[in-house]
Amino acid sequence: MNITQDQIAKARDRVPLAFQAPLQVRVRRYALWVCFTGLFCWCLYDFNISPARIWEGLGRFGTVASFMFPPYIWTSWAEFSEILNGLGETLAIAFLGTVLGAVFAFPLSFLGAKNINRLNWLRLSTRRGYDVIRAFETLILALIFIRAFGLGPLAGILAIAVSEIGTFAKLFSEAIENTSNKPVEGVKASGGSRLQQIRYGIAPQVNPVIMSILLYNFESNVRSGTILGIVGAGGIGFLLSDRIAAYKWGEAWSIIFLIIAMVYVIDWLSGIVRQRLIGKTDLAK
């Protein structure tokens, strides 16, 4: 089947848009690309990102990375227990922070869900409330709690818990809004009250989603928990930043590996919990 110019011309006449997008679309497309590339290049310039600098930095990174091998091993229990304690505190901060955050966020999330709370003003102001909470830096929260409760992991736990209240409430209420209304209607048509509709129609749909949000955030809180130690709110972060500040890269890498290993173990465990509670089925609907 050979196509002649003639045929092309005829086809082009018939469906011109098949050959070329409309002018407006093309202009918009080019404009977008130009803006994007322009901004990008300007950033490169503004941030002074030059190949030479990258090269030099990579050289240093190579040096830093070379301290990974052989891995540093703590020889005395006194040293190692310090690290273990830091890891334990980080874990505690993440776990309790997540649990407490979820406990407070759960009831709040219903206030923010469109299909539950039909009072617009209340719903919208609740949602702004979540935003305010989320805007607090964890470090600032940590300082607030240090003043109230003193130094140590407790301040870290509460800092994470508070910032998680905002995040969880937002995510939970989105999950609630994303549920199908059909089961709710089914319960309603059988004579179920509003609460029963929520309990039987909505809760079974959101529970697995909430569970997986919890597990996911627990894992990521292990990471945020690492930085709190810097202001004295407990955890592995201080130990790590101190090593890096002292250029003890070998030890720093070993700590990083321990953090990675811990996150892995949590990931693995939460995978098991997920399997048990939610089943293998469709999480991402």
Span 42-61, contacts to another protein by CB under 8 A: 43, 46-49, 53-54, 57-58, 60-61
Nearer to another protein, 117 or 216 (CB): 216
Contact between 284 and another protein by CB under 8 A: the answer reads: yes
Cis check: omega of the bond before 70, within 30 degrees of 0: yes
Contact between 207 and another protein by CB under 8 A: the answer reads: yes
Nearer to another protein, 122 or 137 (CB): 137
Figure out which of the listed residues 83, 211, 230, 258 binds another protein, where binding follows CB under 8 A.
230
Contact between 124 and another protein by CB under 8 A: the answer reads: no
Task: Return the range that interacts with another protein (CB under 8 A); candidates 26-34, 91-99, 101-109, 116-124.
Answer: 91-99
Nearer to another protein, 105 or 225 (CB): 225
Write down the least CB distance from residue 58 to another protein, Å: 7
Q: Using CB under 8 A, which residues numbered 208 to 227 contact another protein?
A: 208, 223-224, 226-227
Task: Return the range that interacts with another protein (CB under 8 A); candidates 24-32, 105-113, 117-125, 204-212.
Answer: 204-212
Nearer to another protein, 122 or 135 (CB): 135
Write down the least CB distance from residue 122 to another protein, Å: 19
Cβ pair 134, 167 in contact under 8 A = yes
Number of residues that bind another protein (CB under 8 A): 111
